[in-house]
Amino acid sequence: MNAAVALITGAGGGLGSATASWLAKSGTRIVATGRSLEPLQKLKAALAGITEVAIIQQDVLSQDAPAKAIEFALGQFGRLDYLVNNAGPGYPKPLAETSDELMDLFIGAHLRAPARFAREALPIMKPGGSIVNISSCLALRGRAGVGVYAAAKAGLIGLTKQIAVEFGPKGIRCNAIAPGVITTAMSADRMGSAPFRRTMLETVPLPVSTGQPDDIGAAVAYLCSEQARFINGHVLVIDGGWSETHYLNADALAR
């Protein structure tokens, strides 16, 4: 079988599972990694009959995680065409409240791990291959309270551009997606926070102030596809206009 193969880190979460589902629509086979086994098993069951899914439980911060994931992909499917660097915690804190341990976690998960996975994957990817890194709209403009998380996500955009220029001549593209607020289990506990609503939701110039995991999954599938063959080194922002405008909705203006 010659269908393409995608490795998705953090595949059991909302964005990762949506990405897997969208890639599966084109027949892409999925290698799904994640720290928890149960969500990966649910993803495999959900895509049964649509595409082949192979799961591997691992922490992307583990020293041997990239090599094991690539070896697993080759053992299962004999090739790797797409890498989606999606895994990572999303609970930023102000710089002054960020411990060394939390700083290492953010940099490790959002920059070091994607760099190591890419470094391991690129030598076996062929022309037509694609890497998509999931960054954040918080990497694009200063915002109080997001500290090292935003800095690490900005570093991931820098890594994206470096991969694009170093491997573009070999026919391998690399792009990033910068999501805004997406409705997932990870973001659910913040929705009721007044400061979060005021700074992140009431400043989106659309009738809806949050995106859905499918918005990200569809974008990843597009960036991996042949239709995006001339897109390289780009950051696709999916935040409803939050990062490109200075908007306040009617509720905010009425206070």
Q: What CATH number is associated with residue 37?
A: 3.40.50.720
Instruction: State how far the Cα of 26 lies from the Cα of 10, in Å rounded to an integer.
Output: 20
pLDDT averaged over every residue in the chain: 94
Average pLDDT of the residues in 241-245 = 92
| pLDDT number for residue 196 | 78
Domain range holding 158? Answer: 5-237+246-254
How many Cα atoms within 13 Å fall on the side-chain side of residue 221?
22
149 carries an active-site annotation: yes
Percentage of the chain exceeding pLDDT 90: 82
Backbone torsion region of residue 54, taken as left when φ is above 0, otherwise alpha when ψ lies between -120 and 50, otherwise beta: beta
pLDDT at 64 over 80: yes
Catalytic pick from 91, 149, 222, 247?
A: 149
More confident residue, 114 or 202: 114
How many domains does the chain contain in total?
Answer: 1
